[in-house]
Amino acid sequence: MDFELTEDQEALAEGVASLCAGRFGIEAVRAMEESGLDRGRWRELADTGVFSLCLAEADGGVGLGWAEAAVVFEQLGRRLVPGPLVATTLAAGLIEGAADGSVVVATVERTSGSANVEHAVWADVIVISDDEGLWSVPAEELVGTDARQPLDPLTPVRRIPGLPKGVRIADADAADEWRLHGSFLVAALQLGVAIGATELAVAYAKEREQFGQPIGRFQAVKHRCADMITRVEVLRAAVYAAGATLDGNGVGAPERSVGVAKILASTAAAACGKDCVQVHGGMGYTWEVDAHLYLKRAWAHDLAFADGDELAEDLAAGLVS
């Protein structure tokens, strides 16, 4: 399987990276912790086709594949772009306004008791998935308690005592696809988070001096950075392979490819986040240094669309059955 990006995919990645660098700099991202989701910047993402990327051209979308989606979401994760990116992208074609960015869509898997809904405070519509299908609920109907200190300061969470039934918008098969594609896009975001953390650590290792030389020359730091890069490249191969498989250009079952990518993403992104904190030394634990934002985003993504442990159990069960 060839994982080299085509010229068009490279141009797509550069375009999204340029947009994120200009409109989602770390100051703008940090500001959203207090001000909430910037709807203007959200619309700019929609205008570039982020949310309609995989929607068929006949339905008003861009009509690209999941391999291209991986390239785009990698860049979004790298810049820590906040908001329910995955849910809004999946909802394009299902919820009017999702594709053009006028409606922000969050999602949650139905549980028998209370539920923690990410981005509920920023969303207009919540899509609930369960064994019977997908259900749409206006966000204002989800009355609950907003977490005062969520795990990721840029991923607000609302605890809902019980989820309403909602209006059915798709069947059980669509719900299965929703989870599969959601896991894949989250893995691509995690790849970006791992890359961003690695870039931040390497830049600091080159800049910070100790005993008259950059700390990156010390073996303990050098090897840690090398481990981070290794994790990124292994994860990149897994995510790109999953994208190609979802597009019908790979080998094996899409469910298995996506599962492997999500499992690797959960461990690699968190490990790169932790190493980024370690490379920064004592400063790495402070609020001012961005290292903790990568680590917390990695932890938050780990719980989205099934965590790595659950997927590993499923894969293991499939191997022995």
Dmax (CA) of the chain: 65
Where residue 281 falls (left for φ over 0; alpha for ψ -120 to 50; beta otherwise) is left
| Contacts with 200 (C-beta within 8 Å, 6 or more apart), sequence order | 276, 290, 291, 294
Encoded amino acid at 66, one letter = W
With cut-offs at 50, 70 and 90, classify the pLDDT of residue 1: low
| pTM listed for this prediction | 0.95
- Distance (Å, rounded) from C-alpha 291 to C-alpha 284? 6
What pLDDT was estimated at residue 295? 96
Residue 226, pLDDT above cutoff 90: yes
The mean pLDDT value for 89-115 works out to: 95
The mean pLDDT value for 271-289 works out to: 93
What pLDDT was estimated at residue 310? 80
What pLDDT was estimated at residue 317? 82
How deeply is 304 buried, as exposed, middle or buried, from its count of CB atoms within 10 A (0-12, 13-18, 19+)? buried
Residue 301, pLDDT above cutoff 90: yes
Residue 33, pLDDT above cutoff 80: yes
The mean pLDDT value for 184-212 works out to: 97
Mean pLDDT for the chain overall:
94
| Contacts with 177 (C-beta within 8 Å, 6 or more apart), sequence order | none
Would you say 63 and 55 are in contact if contact means Cβ atoms under 8 Å apart? yes
The mean pLDDT value for 279-304 works out to: 92
